[in-house]
Structure 1
């Protein structure tokens, strides 16, 4: 993926998959995407950044937000036309959350990548250990929360 100018510079992120999780929300994809991609400051998404987040760029289909979460600076790019939320933090963390049709429901896929440069890739695995150990539980809770906010069921399938 190439980041837009002014976000993280103009560079291509080389990514290696660290983890892939999938869940289902029993609602149409447009409803799930409408909620999950509403990451603007004060937005409805459970992933919206709190106070101090700022809108960096916005057009008809894409919104870029930067803010702090647990001391880390995060950049979120919500791409409504592709039902995609990209999260980038620090020197190694890159996550992509996609939403797609799954029968009458929505399949939510989280891919967590090691985006560290080649000499630091091994170190990113060490930095990610705690996150990877708790990510399954967090993802299950996020699927349930999405379902609750939409008045339906949400669950992990992995």
Structure 2
């Protein structure tokens, strides 16, 4: 549904740690699952009835590339409803992009 990618002046470990902290304390009514694969620089957060966000963090030419993908993982019978429902959540893409930019800004700050 959405793919965002950019680079930041921070180590891959720092970026992955920051993402893990952001999603490690998520509390909500729906069960959520966080999967972290540090060896391959990946983190996934899945929650609610349709949302899965995946981050891929790789070192590239002295910088770190961060790619964020949002997937519709609703079941076959309700998959069609996600784009319709998101039309009512006006600004979803803008909020997702703003959150991604904030993540990169925070990751690029010195320790």
TM bucket normalised to smaller: 0.7 to 0.9
Instruction: Give the deviation of 1:121 after TM superposition.
Output: 1.3
Tell me what 2:54 maps to. Answer: 96
* Partners of 1:146 and 1:46 in 2: CA distance: 12
Instruction: Give the deviation of 1:30 after TM superposition.
Output: 3.1
**1:25 equivalent in alignment to 2:8:** yes
Determine which structure has greater relative contact order: mean sequence separation of CA pairs < 8 Å that are 6+ residues apart, divided by chain length: 2
Equivalent positions of 1:67-86 (< 5 A) are 67-69=26-28, 71-86=29-44
Give structure 2 stretches of 5+ with no counterpart. Answer: none
Instruction: Give the deviation of 1:122 after TM superposition.
Output: 1.4
Equivalent residue in structure 2 for 1:132, among 68, 93, 97: 93
| TM-align CA RMSD | 2.1
Equivalent positions of 1:85-124 (< 5 A) are 85-124=43-82
TM-score normalized by structure 1?
0.60
Count of residue pairs brought into register by the alignment: 108
Name segments (4+ residues, structure 1) moved above 4 Å. Answer: none
